[in-house]
Structure 1
């Protein structure tokens, strides 16, 4: 008897599993809110250099009364190619003759202008405040805007590497509790950050904690269900993230101040932290870590909730240990990331998988972040990008089930890459065509991600399998769940928390 047989006795698909999966999937709805928050809290509104319109007697005496303020700005700010006010430069001295409609206008040179010295004026008609308007992340400081998202993604990567190992050592439940709490606290602190550097620091911790949520959500969900329903549960969690993108649009549309928007997406994790105390630890992890007595209590609790109390009472710690003796004996070996490169088969698998993770993540966020670049209303395009994942993931599930993992993985990546490259050569004035191609490409990448999580989990052997199979260079067989740090550390190096992984 193995662990799946033990789980079957206490009810592998019952009331407990339904409640368990539903509660675990709720936080996934808000993962997209954190991953794509940059699109709304870092919007760059129309802006120009701030100028002092009170001229202390210089210039036309009735300038401020006879002319509209916007027209008066032409004497201070040059026009760009589109005959709009320059965003980053002002005239070195006022050009009053430009206020005369009959005056001859001449091109200005760089020597006639200078960079903004008194800050910027922003158009706040659509957004009350963003981190850009808060800390003037424009012109020479524009790169700091992108840096904020890079810092967040660095936190996701760090959390994937660090928390994966901690999860295997200390358990899924305790790491999930800690991650929920850290997301809530770090998100709240980011909302009230007094400086840009503090904002980046708290965003880094948020990204790190989100990795813990992703990892342990998926592990706890899969380790309490049988293999036969794994694909369905994975698909459900997948779609939770997809609908979370649509939730983000609604929240961002209603809250136009970045601080309150940041707080709004962080607050639900206080609730998730409180009800996460109800979750039992993974019984399989407990048994493999010599805590069969605790695992027995959880299994009896599950059996009672599933209406199989009598079957649960028949279980004992001795029965659990004896039935998993083979798996327990194999956990005595220690493993590291280096084990992934010790044999030709595992080395090839590891290198190819890492390349696929990198290319898929890189392309996905290249399309999904900075929606302003498409020249379309960011709320509309976010709805389109979220909605396109619905049919894309459905097609992916069908292909995975009836055609295979490798074909699905390769086809989705080739299509996504071809579409993204083709979009480079589409003129910017063809906004509808560019947006449509980008949406299709993002859908292909969503399919690729769905395959990545499932395929990678099946390619890697678990530490509960005899190590000699790997040392012989045999092809890895499909197994249930990668339980230990060797596997999870590699799989977690994707920064796209679309489908939580183990």
Structure 2
């Protein structure tokens, strides 16, 4: 969900802090990324401050935001119906994370042919197991990847005494698995946890590769085409992956699915937010991310109900083809139509919206939208520094460029890491995953409620530190206190979900308009390190079960402290110039009321 943004040519100039940044790009789920992803879902204007700053409308050109606020409605029946429609593909975008179940770890041990075992699904805990396999301090009570060497080979499934084996150990030649509802069983991936975890890493890599593809399709052919193509690719490659004949094929189509289908969330997010007025964009953004979390819950329920992994993938992806009908159901983005000078189509959509909302759009406003002013040609100042020069000349900007990517890495690392590791909390991996995803929804809306009340810094720093405290505490809670462990784990996910919703907004408010898009993209791209490495953390539990939680906690503490080094942006003007960005936190940056 996170990090994935489409370059919308229709985006207007960036507004002031607290107003919805006129940035209609969105993350992918994750992806959750993708994502999740993520933090971009917090992009939006705060209506309370919008009213304070809009000033005299006669002094400003009439744009789409003016028409939404003053004429056709910021969130009427049309926008509500549109949000309900795009919630369906947002939910479907979460299905790309089904590798959490289809490539889930399965308890396994060495196969003992000396005791008559010939298949991968023999009795997993025979009475004689400790005669042939060394004991170990794990849930099974015996080693997963080692066995004793044999002296004789005349045992049977019912009787296999200890004298048939020596005390010398050797690696497994073949494996017996506790269950068969994962590709680990089909492709015999016992004791290859790093290879198994590669599916999650490639999923995150795909959400990075999708950016130029989704952006080009969206800007060239329209948001509606981009949405339909993304969902069809998601479904098609997912279905093909269900018929994988080996693990390399499974991995290849995991990468292809996210590379060509991870634009689903961003395309849907654009539809949801582009035509909502400034007052409701933050709430709409939180609703979009909540729909992604709902999709994860649905995925967990389907995986629980249909446990054979191939049938589970088919059950998730076949219904996605209904989104093809959206090509005829959804109206194209008005902002994109205006940017492409498709004024007749834009006029038709605007009139439809006005009728659905039982409003009217004035001829004056319609004429202004259909006849936009020519863009002012700015004469380049030879002394104007480029981005790299500006970064190294400004100590303030340099510190922010070094700080914000760390926040993004932490957020994606902890957010996706907690989701992935939830399946190993106890034997009830489906329920644990569902609860871990469901707790995101109150986290998203909590951030919406407090961002404009206590400020950006307390929300982000508090979210990081609260999540870090829960993760570190979880690492040291005894395993027999299962209920307490689950509650603390869920609170850690709640804290990072608050951050996920707030990070995009706060980062965009720290950078000046002239560099904002590039530095925001830089932070997001570096943040991919977190989502790419998060799927590998369950493997570290082989050394100590608390390693992932301690890592999540350490990163959270670091980022929580780093947030405190930056200025508060609530109630300040969105900086347009480098000088204004450097002045953030000073009295002159405050909005005068």
TM-score interval, smaller chain: 0.7 to 0.9
Asked if 1:311 is matched to 2:372, the reply is: no
C-alpha separation between the residues in 2 aligned to 1:297 and 1:492?
A: 38
2:178 to 108, 113, 123: 123
- The Cα shift of 1:383 comes to 3.1
2:93 is equivalent to residue 31 of structure 1: yes
Deviation at 1:274, TM superposition (A): 2.3
- Matched-pair contact (CA < 8 Å) for 1:75–1:97: no
Q: Provide the C-alpha distance between the structure 2 equivalents of 1:340 and 1:170, rounded to a whole number of angstroms.
A: 33
Shift of 1:162: 4.7
User: Equivalent residues in 2 for 1:2-401 (5 A)?
Assistant: 2-7=63-68, 8-35=70-97, 37-52=98-113, 70-71=126-127, 76-81=132-137, 84-94=141-151, 109=167, 112-117=168-173, 119-124=174-179, 128-139=180-191, 141-160=192-211, 162-164=213-215, 166-308=217-359, 311=361, 319-322=368-371, 324-325=372-373, 328-329=375-376, 339=387, 342-343=390-391, 344=394, 348-401=399-452
Deviation at 1:188, TM superposition (A): 0.8
The 3-state SS of whatever aligns with 2:106 is coil
How big is the alpha-carbon RMSD for the aligned residues of Structure 1 and Structure 2? Answer: 3.8
Counterparts of 1:137 and 1:212, CA distance in 2: 31
Highest Rg: 1 or 2?
Answer: 1
Shift of 1:38: 3.1
Distance 1:491 1:332 in 2: 31
CA distance in 1 between partners of 2:496 and 2:313 (Å)? 27
Q: Normalising by the residue count of structure 1, what TM-score does the alignment of the two structures yield?
A: 0.78
Deviation track 1:178-237 (CA, whole Å, cap 9, x = no partner) reads 111111111111111222111112111222345311212222221111101112212222
Corresponding residue SS for 1:397:
helix
Query: Contact 1:286 / 1:295 at 8 angstroms: preserved in 2?
Result: yes
1:473 corresponding residue in structure 2: none
Aligned partners of 1:75 and 1:95 also within 8 Å: no
* Equivalence for 1:480: none
Instruction: Give the 3 Å change call, closer, same or farther, for CA 40–212 of structure 1 in structure 2.
Output: same
| Cα shift at 1:404 | 1.7
Distance 2:301 2:76 in 1: 34
Structure 1 residue 299, shift from structure 2 partner: 2.0
Counterpart CA distance in 1 for 2:428 and 2:379 is 57
Distance between the aligned counterparts of 1:214 and 1:331, measured in 2? 35
Distance 1:456 1:210, change over 3 A: farther
2:113 counterpart SS class: coil
- Segment drifting more, 21-30 vs 420-429: 420-429
1:319 Cα deviation (Å)?
3.0
8 A Cα contact 2:82 2:272, kept in partner: yes
Is the CA contact (8 Å cut-off) linking 1:98 and 1:105 kept in structure 2? no
Return the alpha-carbon distance in structure 1 between the equivalents of residues 522 and 333 of structure 2: 19
Given that 1:157 and 1:494 are in contact with CA atoms closer than 8 Å, whether structure 2 keeps it comes out as no
* SS at structure 2 position matched to 1:92: strand
Q: How many pairs were matched up?
A: 452
After superposition, the Cα gap between the structure-2 partners of 1:421 and 1:381, relative to the gap in structure 1 and judged at 3 Å, is same
Which stretches in structure 2 are left out of the alignment for 5+ residues? Answer: 1-61, 117-123, 381-385, 532-593
Structure 1 stretches lacking a partner, 5+ long? 56-67, 471-475, 477-483, 498-502
Q: 1:439 aligns with which of 465, 470, 490?
A: 490
Q: How far is 1:238 from its partner?
A: 2.6
**C-alpha distance 220-203 of structure 1, shift in aligned 2 (>3 A):** same
Q: Distance in 2 between matches of 1:321 and 1:339?
A: 34
Local SS of the residue matching 2:109 = strand
Shift of 1:81: 4.9
Q: Distance in 2 between matches of 1:215 and 1:431?
A: 37
User: How far is the alpha carbon of 1:254 from its aligned partner?
Assistant: 0.6
In structure 2, relative to structure 1, the CA distance for the partners of 1:161 and 1:98 (3 Å cut) is: same
- Equivalent residue number for residue 58 of structure 1: none
CA distance in 2, matches of 1:104, 1:45: 27
- Work out whether residues 89 and 323 of structure 2, in 8 Å CA contact, stay in contact via their aligned partners in 1: yes
Q: TM-score scaled to structure 2, two decimals?
A: 0.67
Task: Tell me by how many angstroms 1:425 deviates.
Answer: 3.8
Paired residue secondary structure (1:70): coil
Structure 1 residues 86 and 417 mapped into 2: Cα distance closer, same or farther (>3 Å)? Answer: closer
Give, in angstroms, the shift of residue 261 of structure 1: 1.1
Q: Which moved more, 1:402-411 or 1:277-286?
A: 277-286
